[in-house]
Structure 1
Amino acid sequence: MIQGDLKVSAPIRWATVGGGRGSQIGYSHRCAALRDNSFQLVAGAFDIDPARGREFGESLRVAPERCYPDYPTLFAEEAKREDGIQAVSIATPNSTHFAICKAALEAGLHVICEKPLCFTVAEAEGLRALARERRCIVGVTYGYAGHQLIRQAREMIANGDLGEIRMVHMQFAHGFHSEAVEQANPSTKWRVDPRHAGPSYVLGDLATHPYYLAEAMLPQLRIKRLLCSRQSFVASRAPLEDNAYVLMEYEGGVMGHLWASAVNAGSMHGQKVRVIGSRASVEWWDEHPNQLRYEVQGQPVRILERGMDYLYPQALEDDRIGAGHPEGLFEAWSNLYYRFALAMEAMDRGDITAIEALGIPDIEAGVEGVRWVENCVRSADAGAVWVDYR
């Protein structure tokens, strides 16, 4: 059944920091937030250049006086207004996320932040404590988690359709950075600079996406220990890696493997998650997001299609256009954004149970992503050795 109803009681007054003209990720945030009338863009600090940011904001029909030169001014001035912002999205380089997120929470704002949330577990846990104190939602844009068949996989696993879970294989391995493209591309250059990207490149930028997808499908799994090996095949990127392998041992004996790469020459995207059980497996590939491959041992392969009545009801909640019509990344992001909006409304009325039922990538997902990268780097820098996870 197509779900066309409005999701929230009134659009949430919303601003963005960063995501100005030419920003691919900024466009993704705006398209996702505005699609279901869950948010209304009323303010922003869109660019490090105030004049350029103001001009861009006005082109989005934001009032000139609400196009601010920087995020401290944005938060301070909006707090003075009766119709001030209720939430903010952060679409800036990694090194700025912690400071902006902290300032937003201190201003009592709900936050939607690009990953990584910050660079260290200590910082992440500090943001979690602040979010709890201020009773604010922090959403992290693991956008692929909004695809409908991720929820189908989760329900199949929970229902025992795969049997006892044994292995989880994850990858995000494209080939677009097989050469030093960052020398001529500013949007890539900062991603391989430790001052702006943090302690990793593909581990933090790519690997955390399939890692979270596996977490969404298998919320009960907890890593016991891991081993990481990382490489810089384009030597100028060292000490940051452009390729990495991670082995994970989960509590209870489940094993995991993750390959992250920006030098998988010829691959367009290469993000896949395969969950292997004692009687069957499921596999999702982001280049074919409307299909979930279901393989039962001894039976023909089945391809489950988005929007079909044979799926679990939870996998049909986000259906927009019916089966057969292809949906993509903007729909996935929109699914997350409207759930973020519902979580914000629920938090404002104190309904924690409703928030938990939404299954959003929240502050806990942000903390866990930072913890995973930190442990991977620790293992790799010690010579690719097993390290205890907690």
Structure 2
Amino acid sequence: MYYGEKKIEKPIRWAMVGGGKGSQIGYIHRSAAMRDFNFDLVAGAFDIDPERGREFGKQLHVDEDRCYPDYKTMFAKEAKRQDGIQAVSIATPNGTHFEITKAALLAGLHVVCEKPLCFTTEEAEELEALAAKQNKIVGVTYGYAGHQVIEEARQLIAEGKLGKIRIVNMQFSHGFHNVAVEKNTASTKWRVDPKVAGPSYVLGDVGTHPLYLSEVMLPDMKIKRLMCSRQSFVESRKPLEDNAMTIMEYDNGAVGYVWSCCVNCGSMHGQKIRVIGEKASIEWWDEHPNQLTYEVQNEPVRVLERGMGYLAPSALEEDRIGAGHPEGLFEAWSNLYSRFAQAMDACDRGEHVEFWYPNVHAGAEGVRWVENCVQSADQGAQWVDYK
């Protein structure tokens, strides 16, 4: 159990690009990063409007002279300071992620980036190579992976409790964009603009979340080929999709399904993952994030609860308040930011961490998956070899 004791010797001097006033995701980043005293927010380029960003930064207790008009200025000026930043989080529209991440790595900074990491596999591979060359950590905010029972699912599968895996059924299917909300909502408008959002909408925006959960739970299974069909039910969103179904074949003979959707009327969030083996199944639903359903054939259904002593030790390490108390998204993100901090600290000391976290390779795989899905869909939902 975690009682708030320090995980690293000194907090990492940290900045944000984006995440300014009105940014819900920016607040989540700051709350998660600073909760456990692993990061200290000392600088930022918070807004495309420099004055608005400066005023917002002051409200976050950031010194006015370290509230910068843009990320390029921030990286250059912070590099000249003895107490300059060591890491940066990027919470800007998708189309800027590649250039800012690349600039941060070249400036010698660790990075936490919103997904998608970039738009193309070539860009992703470039960032992977650059992170290795610069010996810097790149974390990607697949925030749902920080829920504790995801680790329990990983351990159950690793211990063979499910037997050979046959089916992985995934979805992230909400209904909040069942009409053209982007006409009146700036935070949605850019998500359906290919110039800013990239080659997909829901595949990249929501579909990659349960896909990453499957990668955490099933690290040894690799996609062999896939087929994707995508639709734009709200016509103005074309060529980007608001609904997609992807079928995948894995190298061990298993099959997977991902339903990515924002027009599932009435659904609040609709993110689920069900892993089906030859002996048993597990299921996790993010609207009930503290429970993992474990179903053995011909036995009563078990609901495994976060924080209980019967869970694997690794699933209890990041428990914060004991069993019975509900934990949510902020705790999940805090767990990931704690992992990011420990990985960054170890990297700076020339060491390597053994635990998993959504790293630059995970970000690259999300980009690769979207690219393959788009290729299949645009070829009339044909099977494509995964590459």
Equivalent residue number for residue 379 of structure 1: 376
Give the paired residue count. Answer: 387
Equivalent residue number for residue 366 of structure 1: 363
Equivalent residue number for residue 224 of structure 1: 224
Structure 1, unpaired ranges of 5+: none
Q: Is the 8 A contact 1:3 1:317 kept in 2?
A: no
Using the alignment, how far apart are the partners of 1:321 and 1:17 within structure 2? 32
Q: CA deviation at 1:2?
A: 4.4
Equivalent residue number for residue 151 of structure 2: 151
Using the alignment, how far apart are the partners of 2:193 and 2:355 within structure 1? 36
Using the alignment, how far apart are the partners of 2:14 and 2:5 within structure 1? 21
Using the alignment, how far apart are the partners of 2:126 and 2:3 within structure 1? 38
State the Cα deviation string for residues 328-348 of structure 1 (Å, max 9, x = none). 000000000010000001111
1:165 aligns to 2:165 (yes or no): yes
SS in structure 1 of the partner of residue 272 of structure 2: strand
1:327 aligns to 2:324 (yes or no): no
Q: CA deviation at 1:19?
A: 0.2
What pairs with 1:1-390 in structure 2 (closer than 5 Å)?
1-352=1-352, 354=353, 357-390=354-387
| Runs of 4+ displaced beyond 3 Å | 1-4
Using the alignment, how far apart are the partners of 1:8 and 1:335 within structure 2? 14
State the Cα deviation string for residues 90-112 of structure 1 (Å, max 9, x = none). 00000000000000000000000
Structure 2, unpaired ranges of 5+: none
Q: CA deviation at 1:3?
A: 3.9
Using the alignment, how far apart are the partners of 1:22 and 1:51 within structure 2? 15
For residue 365 of structure 2, what is the amino acid of its counterpart?
Answer: E
Q: Is the 8 A contact 1:172 1:272 kept in 2?
A: yes
| TM-score of the two chains, using structure 2 as the length reference | 0.99
SS in structure 2 of the partner of residue 314 of structure 1: helix
Q: CA deviation at 1:371?
A: 0.3
| TM-score of the two chains, using structure 1 as the length reference | 0.99
Q: CA deviation at 1:279?
A: 0.6
SS in structure 1 of the partner of residue 309 of structure 2: coil
Q: CA deviation at 1:31?
A: 0.3
Using the alignment, how far apart are the partners of 1:47 and 1:129 within structure 2? 29
Using the alignment, how far apart are the partners of 2:38 and 2:87 within structure 1? 12
For residue 175 of structure 1, what is the amino acid of its counterpart?
Answer: G
Using the alignment, how far apart are the partners of 1:8 and 1:215 within structure 2? 27
Q: CA deviation at 1:8?
A: 1.3
Q: Is the 8 A contact 1:223 1:250 kept in 2?
A: yes
